């Protein structure tokens, strides 16, 4: 029998429900795995040992009493540290919230808990989820479990690395422009960005409110479906969450791809793409064709404007969302007296890192009187065109298939001084955030250096089920998921 | 039209912005109580404190109140409107932005009909929109710094903006009184200016008589009564004319009314004004209002003060003045009609209400309530009392003296009169005896009267009233005394 920390989430939960293993045993196994590998990964900002063991004990008592503790009974999980957890510090990887302990749970945290999951750690990310490598993180460095000299991707780098390193069985990340899919791809795990409005944003520290969406990172497609099932659905505390009923994602895994039409967006095979990335993705396309899917080229003609549009809109929203970190009520307040303006300036200067400051300035500028029409408003218009591109493509096909990123994981420090190159890491992921659509990243190969390559599937709004069905079919026909880089 | 304000060939142009705090049970974007006067920071939650990750959820009742206000002021209700963020830093603004409406308000293009100095005036309404209130900074409670009370944070407000249609300070006063009366009729705002639940800013400019363009406007703030609004506007108009005459430029600025020095003082100029960087609030969906809902609200609208006043004149034969006093508050008008049902004659009851009841209401500060539900004197009591006087059972003075004994008791005045023998003495024989006694005891005064000093009669009547314990019918006493003295 493999080690407990190697089990998939659904296998672990099934064993807990069958009383073959206790939640406490699973939790202790996760904690000892963390102790063993965390020094070389650095995925976790806060290890919640005491709370986790207490939660596991409650699950075990419920199982003993004959209750069903839920889909994720006793499964150790981690949350990106921009997801608020009552009584457990939540930092968004920022100095300004380094000591912040929320008195409330994010809806997704509460839903995982209601499904029986056990929170063992809060996971590192780029500060306020702004970044593609988890290097804009004020409180620690996360290394790629496949190569400690490489980034884990970002911004949900800790969420991907912790799953890849088998410190947790599954995790949640948030995806504003690729922040789940890119690190999932770099770390060789499955990551899903659901449709905007499918999962509650309540209690998730906002970066860009009109794009942010929480989703699962997992060892395989089945686990991703299970975790999504636990968190999806309307939340009265989030006015942008959808009232649509949630289908069974687990049931959707069975369908196969026969008769499905897949579109290959020609703009997503960009110049300068790493050749083995393109080769692996094209091989994956052939695998799906062999399973009975049909593939046709499609065009998303406004793709080239996506990065500019994305940075205008997200920075504008962020400049407003981050105004609340002013040192008045919670978070860092710079020492020393002075005027109100000085307190604001010094607290924010000391509390925010350089990338966050860059985006606040960019966003403030884009919303300023006299510039609003040329920047923010124009970006919203282009956003509409980008959304229409997808609508037109989806008139012909059921899903799109593409790489996640032009390259595999790059070296730590390689792009930190070059924000524009860093921004290009998201070129294949941000368009669907602008359109609010769901996307999934799953492993489809290793490059020459032995680093994971990600395959991206993009779906129609609220059609996560079809994405999971295609991903499951590919996974069954290939051999790339559930590999562990660290024995 | 009432006489416009003019000075040395200049006329006044006045527009008003009213902020009305809505009397909903809970706040506009969270479930906290919106009631006034709780201990500091007790009506608060993560949402109205602007904690990380929290989201606003729109209170449907606030929308209903806004629609009521719009319908009562002849506005169109926008089928689709949108909240926006107004960004600025201040400690009483926990998110660093206020959720308001900007480009797409809920109500547009209405008007208000006023009567100013007996002539009708129609004042245009530009828009009505919903927004959240801020907290309150407290500077003198703590030696080492300022404190903030967030109870008021996120309490719903309507901002009601007029066209620059008013031409003298009295019109501004009449506009505010009419608007307040309407909001009180709608039972959506208590209209208390001193406590700040009905606040007014004035935009004031002057221009040469006959000009059609607008002069440079100045915004006046800090006026906490109708009287102050009129005085501040009058002061500012004169200041602007004098400044124009001395070729001093009028700058677009905000000025504060200093109630002690009776002048306006510059607060900030346009150059130092905030750039609020408005943009659509991404945390709230565009507000789509169903026409059927508007129809339901319209069908349930109460009769408004203007219509009710006209009806009181027509149906009850009241003077316009009395009808206006009785209909300014809906609860008072309801009281009047309940008294009529209980059998009082309209004119007599109107007198009792305007002289006695409203004095007690003011003394007991009941007029600070949005709706007076517990009257110190019930409509039935006052109607009975009024009838006792009309029927000659008690005289008016006795009746007035009974009021303090009836307050808060619910006792039928007729029972009190009977049990205490307070009925008016109209027995001719008994009164003739009293008249004769008084004439006999006051020979000097009798002689003076006969010498032509008519004033002495009042003294003699007073002596007779005293001798009868105040119960004598005063008309009959006068009649008997005159005939006795003439005899």
Query: DSSP strand E in B317-403: where?
Result: none
Determine the residue of chain A that is closest to B274 in CA distance: A369
Q: Is the pLDDT of residue B292 over 70?
A: yes
pLDDT for res B224: 85
**What amino acid positions of A are annotated as catalytic residues?**
80, 155, 179
Q: Is the pLDDT of residue A2 over 80?
A: no
In the predicted model, what is the mean pLDDT of chain A?
Answer: 96
Distance between CA B84 and CA B20 in Å, rounded?
19
pLDDT for res B18: 97
Tens digits of residue pLDDT in A271-309: 888 999 999 999 999 999 999 999 999 999 999 999 999
Q: Which of A237, A316, A324 sits opposite B50 (nearest CB)?
A: A324
Q: Does A375 touch chain B (CB under 8 A)?
A: no
Tens digits of residue pLDDT in B420-434: 777 777 778 888 888
A208 Cα to chain B: minimum distance (Å): 9
What are the Cα distances from residue B1, in Å, to B162, B179, B271, B307?
Answer: 18, 19, 37, 21
B8 Cα to chain A: minimum distance (Å): 38
Q: Is the pLDDT of residue A419 over 60?
A: yes
Q: Does B279 touch chain A (CB under 8 A)?
A: yes
pLDDT for res A1: 46
Q: Does A1 touch chain B (CB under 8 A)?
A: no
Max intra-chain CA distance, chain B: 96
Please tell me which residue, B470 or A462, carries the higher pLDDT value: A462
The gap from C-alpha A277 to its chain's centroid, in whole angstroms, comes to 21
Residues in chain A closer than 8 A to B285 (CB atoms):
239-240
Query: DSSP strand E in B270-324: where?
Result: 279-280, 287-288
Q: Is the pLDDT of residue A149 over 70?
A: yes
pLDDT for res B2: 62
pLDDT for res A440: 98
**Which helix (H) or strand (E) is B230 found in, with range?**
helix B226-245
Distance between CA B132 and CA B60 in Å, rounded?
14
Confidence of residue B446 (pLDDT cuts 50, 70, 90): confident
Q: Does B28 touch chain A (CB under 8 A)?
A: no
Percentage of the residues of chain A whose pLDDT score is greater than 70: 100
3-state secondary structure chain A: CCCHHHCCHHHHHHHHHCCCCCHHHHHHHHHHHHHHHHHHHCCEEEECHHHHHHHHHHHHHHHHCCCCCCCCCCCEEEEECCECECCECCCCCCHHHCCCCCCCCCHHHHHHHHCCCEEEEEECCCHHHCCCCCCCCCCCCCEECCEEEEECCCCCHHHHHHHHCCCCCEEEEECCCCCCHHHHHHHCCEEEECCCCCECCCCECCCCCCCCCEEEEECCHHHHHHHHHHHECCCCCCCCCCCCCCCCHHHHCCCCCCCCEEEEEHHHCCCCCCHHHHHHHHHHHHHHHHCCCEEEEECCHHHHHHHHHHHHHHHHHHHHHHHHCCCCCCCCCCCCCCCHHHHHHHHHHHHCCHHHHHHHHHHHHHHCCCCCHHHHHHHHHHHHHHHHHHHHHCCCCCEEEEECCCCCCCECCCCCCCHHHHHHCCCCCHHHHHHCCCEEEEEEEECCCCCEEEEEEEECCCCHHHHHHHHHHHHHHCCCCCCCCCC
pLDDT for res B270: 62
pLDDT for res B399: 87
A356 Cα to chain B: minimum distance (Å): 16
Tens digits of residue pLDDT in B187-199: 999 888 878 889 9
User: What is the bridge-based pairing of β-strands A118-123 and A76-80?
Assistant: parallel
pLDDT for res B254: 92
Q: Minimum mean pLDDT among A4-8, A111-115, B404-408, B466-470: which range? A: B466-470
Q: Is the pLDDT of residue A194 over 60?
A: yes
B129 Cα to chain A: minimum distance (Å): 19
Q: Flag if B89 and A323 touch (Cβ within 8 Å).
A: yes
Q: Flag if B57 and A102 touch (Cβ within 8 Å).
A: no
Q: Does A202 touch chain B (CB under 8 A)?
A: yes
Tens digits of residue pLDDT in B84-126: 999 999 999 999 999 999 999 999 999 999 888 878 899 999 9
Q: Flag if A239 and B58 touch (Cβ within 8 Å).
A: yes
Q: Report chain B's terminal Cα–Cα distance, integer Å.
A: 60
Q: Is the pLDDT of residue B225 over 90?
A: no
A433 Cα to chain B: minimum distance (Å): 14
Q: Which of B46, B85, B148 sits opposite A320 (nearest CB)?
A: B85
Q: Flag if A238 and B55 touch (Cβ within 8 Å).
A: yes
Q: Is the pLDDT of residue A27 over 80?
A: yes
Q: Under a CB-based contact definition with an 8 Å cutoff, are residues B48 and B32 in contact?
A: yes
Q: Under a CB-based contact definition with an 8 Å cutoff, are residues B304 and B185 in contact?
A: yes
Q: Which of B87, B284, B285 sits opposite A320 (nearest CB)?
A: B87
Task: Read off the pLDDT of each residue in A162-176 and give the average, rounded to a whole number.
Answer: 98
The gap from C-alpha A45 to its chain's centroid, in whole angstroms, comes to 16
Q: Does A320 touch chain B (CB under 8 A)?
A: yes
Q: Residue window 12-31, chain A: list those with CB within 8 Å of chain B.
A: none
What are the Cα distances from residue B56, in Å, to A201, B29, B43, B83, B281?
Answer: 11, 5, 16, 11, 10
In the predicted model, what is the mean pLDDT of chain B?
Answer: 91
Task: Read off the pLDDT of each residue in A61-77 and give the average, rounded to a whole number.
Answer: 96
Confidence of residue B482 (pLDDT cuts 50, 70, 90): confident
pLDDT for res B271: 60
Q: Does B321 touch chain A (CB under 8 A)?
A: no
Q: Does B38 touch chain A (CB under 8 A)?
A: no
Q: Is the pLDDT of residue B207 over 80?
A: yes
Confidence of residue A482 (pLDDT cuts 50, 70, 90): low
Q: Does B120 touch chain A (CB under 8 A)?
A: no
Q: Minimum mean pLDDT among A322-326, B311-315, B456-460: which range? A: B456-460
Confidence of residue B1 (pLDDT cuts 50, 70, 90): very low
Tens digits of residue pLDDT in B339-396: 999 999 999 999 999 999 999 988 888 877 767 888 999 999 999 999 988 887 888 8
Model ipTM over 0.90: yes
Q: Flag if A324 and B275 touch (Cβ within 8 Å).
A: no
pLDDT for res B268: 74
Q: Which of A341, A66, A343, A109 is nearest to A237 (CA)?
A: A109
Pick the most confident of A264-273, B4-13, B87-96.
Answer: B87-96
Residues in chain A closer than 8 A to B283 (CB atoms):
206, 209, 239-240
SS3 B319: coil
């Amino acid at each position: 029998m493999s080690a407990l920390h190697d089990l998939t989430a659904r296998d672990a939960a099934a064993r807990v429900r069958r009383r073959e293993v206790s939640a406490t045993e699973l939790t202790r196994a996760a904690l000892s795995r963390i102790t063993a590998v965390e020094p070389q990964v650095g995925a976790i900002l806060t290890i919640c040992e005491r709370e986790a063991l207490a939660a596991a004990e409650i699950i075990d008592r419920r199982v003993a009493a004959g209750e069903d503790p839920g889909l994720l009974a006793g499964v150790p999980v981690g949350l990106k540290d921009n997801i608020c957890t009552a009584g457990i510090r939540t930092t968004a990887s920022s100095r300004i919230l380094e000591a912040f302990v929320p008195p409330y749970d994010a809806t997704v945290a509460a839903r995982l808990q209601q499904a029986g999951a056990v929170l063992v750690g809060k996971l590192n990310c780029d500060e306020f989820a702004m970044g593609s490598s988890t290097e804009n993180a004020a409180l620690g460095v996360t290394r790629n479990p496949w190569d400690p000299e490489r980034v884990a991707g970002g911004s949900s780098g800790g969420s991907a690395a912790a799953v890849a390193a088998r410190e947790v069985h599954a995790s949640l990340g948030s995806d504003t422009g690729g922040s789940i899919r890119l690190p999932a791809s770099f770390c060789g795990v499955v990551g899903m960005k659901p449709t905007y409005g499918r999962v509650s944003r309540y209690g998730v520290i906002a970066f860009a409110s009109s794009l942010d969406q929480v989703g699962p990172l997992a060892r395989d497609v089945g686990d991703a479906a299970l975790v999504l099932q636990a968190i999806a659905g309307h939340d009265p505390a989030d006015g942008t969450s959808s009232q649509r009923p949630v289908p069974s994602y687990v049931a959707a895994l069975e369908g196969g791809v026969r008769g499905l039409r897949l579109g290959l967006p020609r703009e997503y095979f960009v110049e300068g793409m790493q050749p083995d990335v393109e080769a692996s993705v094209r091989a994956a396309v052939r695998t799906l064709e062999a399973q009975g899917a049909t593939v046709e080229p499609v065009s998303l003609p406004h793709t080239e404007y996506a990065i500019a549009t994305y940075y205008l809109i997200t920075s504008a929203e962020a400049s407003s969302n981050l105004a609340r970190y002013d040192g008045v009520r919670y978070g860092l307040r710079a020492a020393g007296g002075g005027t109100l303006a000085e307190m604001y300036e010094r607290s924010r200067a000391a509390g925010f890192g350089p990338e966050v400051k860059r985006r606040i300035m960019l966003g403030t500028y884009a919303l300023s009187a006299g510039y609003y029409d040329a920047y923010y408003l124009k970006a919203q218009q282009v956003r509409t065109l980008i959304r229409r591109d997808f609508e037109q493509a989806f008139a012909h096909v059921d899903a799109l298939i593409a790489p996640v990123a032009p390259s595999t994981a790059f070296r730590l420090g390689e792009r930190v001084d070059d924000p524009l190159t860093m921004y290009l890491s998201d070129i294949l992921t941000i368009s669907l955030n602008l359109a609010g659509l769901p996307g999934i990243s799953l492993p489809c190969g290793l490059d020459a250096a032995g680093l994971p390559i990600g395959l991206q599937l993009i779906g129609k709004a609220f059609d996560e089920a079809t994405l999971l069905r295609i991903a499951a079919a590919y996974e069954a026909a290939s051999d790339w998921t559930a590999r562990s880089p660290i024995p | 039209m009432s006489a416009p304000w003019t000075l040395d060939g200049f006329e006044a142009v006045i527009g008003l912005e009213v902020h009305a705090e809505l009397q909903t049970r809970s706040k506009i974007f969270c479930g906290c109580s919106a009631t006034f006067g709780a201990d500091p920071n007790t009506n608060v939650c993560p949402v109205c404190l602007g904690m990380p990750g929290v989201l606003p959820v729109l209170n449907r009742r606030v929308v209903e109140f806004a629609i009521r206000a719009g319908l009562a002021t002849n506005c169109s209700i926008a089928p689709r409107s949108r909240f926006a963020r107004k960004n600025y830093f201040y400690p009483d603004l926990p998110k660093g932005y206020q959720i308001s409406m900007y480009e797409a308000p809920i109500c547009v293009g209405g008007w208000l009909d006023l009567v100013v100095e007996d002539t009708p005036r129609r004042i245009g309404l530009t828009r009505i929109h919903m927004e959240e209130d801020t907290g309150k900074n407290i500077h003198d409670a703590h030696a080492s710094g300022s404190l903030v009370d967030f109870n008021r944070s996120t309490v719903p407000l309507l901002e009601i903006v007029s066209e620059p249609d008013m031409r003298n300070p009295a019109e501004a006063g009449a506009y505010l009184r009419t608007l307040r009366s309407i909001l009180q009729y709608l039972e959506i705002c208590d209209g208390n200016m001193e406590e700040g639940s009905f606040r007014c800013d004035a935009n004031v400019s002057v221009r040469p008589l006959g000009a059609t363009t607008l002069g440079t406007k100045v915004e006046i703030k800090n006026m906490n009564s109708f009287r102050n609004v009129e005085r501040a506007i009058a002061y500012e108009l004169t200041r602007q004319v004098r400044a124009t005459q001395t070729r001093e430029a009028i700058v677009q600025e905000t000025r504060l009314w200093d109630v002690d020095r009776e002048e306006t003082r510059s607060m900030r100029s346009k150059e130092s004004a905030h750039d609020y960087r408005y943009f659509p609030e991404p945390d709230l969906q565009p507000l789509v209002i169903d026409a059927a809902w508007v129809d339901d609200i319209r069908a349930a609208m109460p009769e408004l003060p203007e219509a009710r006043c006209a009806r009181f004149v027509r149906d009850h034969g009241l003077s316009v003045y009395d009808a206006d006093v009785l209909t300014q508050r809906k609860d008072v008008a309801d009281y009047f009609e309940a008294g009529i049902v209980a059998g009082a004659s309209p004119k007599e009851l109107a007198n009792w209400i305007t002289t006695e009841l409203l004095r007690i209401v003011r003394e007991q500060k009941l007029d600070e309530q949005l709706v007076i539900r517990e009257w110190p004197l019930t409509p039935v009591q006052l109607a009975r009392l009024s009838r006792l006087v009309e029927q000659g059972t008690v005289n008016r003075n006795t009746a007035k003296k009974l009021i303090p004994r009836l307050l808060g008791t619910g006792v039928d005045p007729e029972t009190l009169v009977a049990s205490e023998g307070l009925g008016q003495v109209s027995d001719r024989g008994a009164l003739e005896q009293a008249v004769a006694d008084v004439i006999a005891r006051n020979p000097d005064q009798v002689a003076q009267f006969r010498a032509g000093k008519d004033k002495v009669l009042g003294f003699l009547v007073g002596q007779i009233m005293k001798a009868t314990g105040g119960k004598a019918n005063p008309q009959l006493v006068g009649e008997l005394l005159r005939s006795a003295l003439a005899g």
